[in-house]
Amino acid sequence: MSKRTKRIIYLFIGLVTLAVLSYFTFRILKPTEEQPFDALSFAIEDTNSINKIVITDAYSRTFELNRSGESWVDKNGQCVNKEGVHNILEAVAKIQFKAYLNEKAEKKFYDLMMTNHIKVDFYQNGNFSKRWYIGPNAQDHNGQIMVVEGPNKEKSKKPVIMSIRGIFGIIEPRFFADPRKWMCTGIFNLESEKISKVDVSFSEENYRNFSIENFGSNFSVKSKGIALSAVDTSNVIRYLQKYKRVNFESANYELNKVQCDSLLKAVPFCTLSLTEKGKQSPVVLKMHRIRVNEPQENEFGELVNMDMNKFWCVLPSKEIVKCQYFVFNHLILGDVYFPALSSQFPKQNIKKLVPSTKKTK
């Protein structure tokens, strides 16, 4: 075979190879009737442009998150769980394609996900950007079967398995519409100089009642309207500094509506009222003991039908949350800071209000 013939054959083979590659490239990139929208277009790398997220869960509950400056709030402008928002933004920035499903599985999961899914709408700069449909977990529990819908409501008909880059696990737990999970746990976060007045009152043990007024250069500490003697200013400041970070432990996942209504009507064992400087209305917390079926032993060896570590607290919003005595004893036991207060206690009553001084998990 001559050199000229060989060149022609090599050239022919090269042209055929190029034609085949071009054909398959065209088939991959060309939109088809089965795939009118990019089935892998889930990510939004510029998370700073996201200003609104709406989550609808499988129970048709909806929760809306809105960007407000450097923070996020719910649709009513209330604080939301920062960690929850961070987890969502991390997911939308780092989401990546993991695997395709076979044709049989595609149809099965597409039909399933149109009736049972978590739906997440993302808005960028005020405009609808895309919608995620989050379906079942991947078999290896590393990723999620998902479908994406674009800004013009064009929906991929090809469910795919997506994962989060650099993280092993499923995606679904990051997206929830239960408002209790979005609650900020913070109750107070105040510098001492921002506090104008604190009033603590007990329904049954009123000898524990005390109040503090902050006049800037000096303080007034009273019990039942009478000024306490020999008050150490440093102790007043130390007490007020306890309001720097005060959080509740968890939202209410235990009491039903009837029980909540009953609790709201009950007399609290302690009421704490705090007024910030420059504000007219105080923040009022109402505390209720938690009764238990199995008696618990207090630090004096007595068995009592009361949780020794936690109590219910009614917030100003009427939300009921669970708190720890470990946190609130520093705020409601005034005799720790003002010894003159304990001189008013009945002689036969030398016990602390609650025995728990250990933080519970």
User: pLDDT per residue over 251-285, tens digit each?
Assistant: 999 999 999 999 999 999 999 999 999 999 999 99
> In which band, very low, low, confident or very high, does the pLDDT at 1 lie, cut at 50, 70 and 90?
low
pLDDT digits (tens, 9 = 90+) for 55-97: 999 999 999 999 999 999 999 999 999 999 999 999 999 999 9
Give the Cα separation of 143 and 100 in Å (integer).
12
pLDDT digits (tens, 9 = 90+) for 176-201: 999 999 999 999 999 999 999 999 99
* H or E element in which residue 84 lies: helix 82-94
Residue 255 phi, psi dihedral angles, 5° rounding: -80, 135
pTM to 2 decimals?
0.74
Contact indicator for 122, 95 with CB cutoff of 8 Å: no
Angle at CA 126, nearest 5°, toward 123 and 129?
30
Contact indicator for 110, 116 with CB cutoff of 8 Å: no
Give the Cα separation of 143 and 132 in Å (integer).
14
Contact indicator for 120, 50 with CB cutoff of 8 Å: no
Q: Which residue has the higher pLDDT, 23 or 277?
A: 277
Across 155-191, b (16+ Cβ under 10 Å) vs e yields: bbebbbbbbbeeeeebbbebbbbeeeebbeeebbebe
According to DSSP, the residues that pair with 95 across neighbouring strands are 164
62 contact partners, CB below 8 Å, separation of at least 6 = 54, 55, 56, 177
Give the Cα separation of 119 and 306 in Å (integer).
42
CA–CA distances in Å: residue 47 to residues 56, 129, 299: 20, 12, 52
Q: What pLDDT is attached to residue 51?
A: 98
Mean pLDDT of the chain: 88
